[in-house]
Amino acid sequence: MEALQTNPIYRESRQNLVALIHQIHAKGWSPATSTNYSFRNPEPYQHTYTISSSGVDKSAFTDNHLMVVDSTGSPIPEYEYLRPSAETLLHTQLYAQFPEVGAVLHTHSLAGTVLSQHYRFDRGFWLEDWEVLKGLRGIETHQTKVWLPVFQNSQDILQLSHKIAQYQPQTKPFWGYLLAGHGLYAWGKNLAEAKRHLETFEFLMACKLALMQIEK
Ligand SMILES: [Zn+2]
């Protein structure tokens, strides 16, 4: 893996991810050391992933808190001194299922936490007629609706990852899901696209929550 560590594109991706984690923290989407973030490593290491280690205050996150895990979510030998996030398998599941996925971002925002709890028995909710839906690749008009699925939260991450792997999306493209009372997973072909998809869902969830408050 030494060739990976000295690869300038790889070094830049790590810097970009650290900067992105700080931006996400500044928005209030990563309270109390929570949340996790990853990207797929460049070829020939595409079945390994660079991911945030567990338990770090995201405002103080640095390159030293990034680690590399294999397709089973275990740290590669160079990183065995760090602890991967408990939710690492939710990242590896998306990379295994969708070969085009290059980055996965997971937030705990107020809107995502509240809406996922509110709609947990409906197993999801619609995002409909919002201009910003066009932030999702494959959506060309606001005159559409996207189903954002909600899965029951669980501490059994392996079982949860199997459940998500079996999910048949109600609408496509499928760029994100919620865990009830917990938060959002969003992904894309690279960090920039995953960030855009994350911001699309977060912004629209904040809009939906605000609308529900003024309409009640
Ligand atoms: Zn989480």
Judged against a pLDDT cut of 90, whether residue 61 lies above it is answered with: yes
Strand partners, 184: 107, 178
Strand partners, 66: 52
Ligand 1 centroid – CA 84 distance (Å)? 13
Q: Number of structural domains, the chain?
A: 1
Ligand 1 centroid – CA 2 distance (Å)? 31
- The most distant pair of C-alpha atoms in the chain lies apart, rounded to whole Å, by 58
Q: How many helices (H) and strands (E) does the chain have?
A: 6, 8
Strand partners, 104: 38, 187
Collapsing DSSP to helix, strand or coil, 67 comes out as: strand
Q: Provide the domain limits for residue 190.
A: 2-215
CATH number of the domain enclosing 206:
3.40.225.10
Single-letter residue type at 11: R
User: What letter does residue 82 receive in the DSSP assignment?
Assistant: S
Ligand 1 centroid – CA 112 distance (Å)? 11
pTM: 0.96
Ligand 1 centroid – CA 209 distance (Å)? 20
pLDDT digits (tens, 9 = 90+) for 65-95: 999 999 999 999 999 999 898 899 999 999 9
Ligand 1 centroid – CA 23 distance (Å)? 17
